């Protein structure tokens, strides 16, 4: 199963648009609101190296912010990221 995390702030329009992409694709995600949570915001900065929101992670890999997500959603790249890994031969 894929793990999608999105760091947001309540006033951020780009955050709302990024969440809408996931919702339109019927993808489950975990929202981490850092509007007033400095500890989570610090974790976001440590993970992404960026202070802007949204910051989006798919399967613990940073894909960037809204613009990056929008680009991926217009191509097959987003869907490629969400494909289940091929099982290892046993």
Domains of the chain with CATH codes:
4-82 (3.40.30.10)
pLDDT at res. 32: 98
In the block, tokens 């509007």 appear at 35
pTM here is: 0.87
* Predicted confidence (pLDDT) per residue in 29-58, tens digit: 999 999 999 999 999 999 999 999 999 999
The secondary structure of the chain in percent helix, strand, coil, rounded to multiples of 5, reads 40, 20, 40
Residue range 73-77: average pLDDT? Answer: 81
Residue 21 CB neighbours (<10 A): 19
């Amino acid at each position: 199963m894929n793990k999608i995390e999105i760091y947001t702030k309540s006033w951020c329009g780009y955050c709302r648009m990024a969440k809408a992409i996931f919702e339109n694709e019927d993808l489950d995600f975990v929202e981490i609101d850092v509007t007033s949570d400095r500890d989570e915001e610090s974790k976001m900065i440590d993970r992404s190296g960026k202070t802007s929101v949204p910051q989006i992670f798919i399967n613990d890999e940073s894909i960037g912010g809204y613009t990056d997500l929008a680009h991926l959603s217009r191509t097959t790249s987003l869907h490629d990221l969400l494909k289940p890994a091929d099982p290892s031969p046993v």
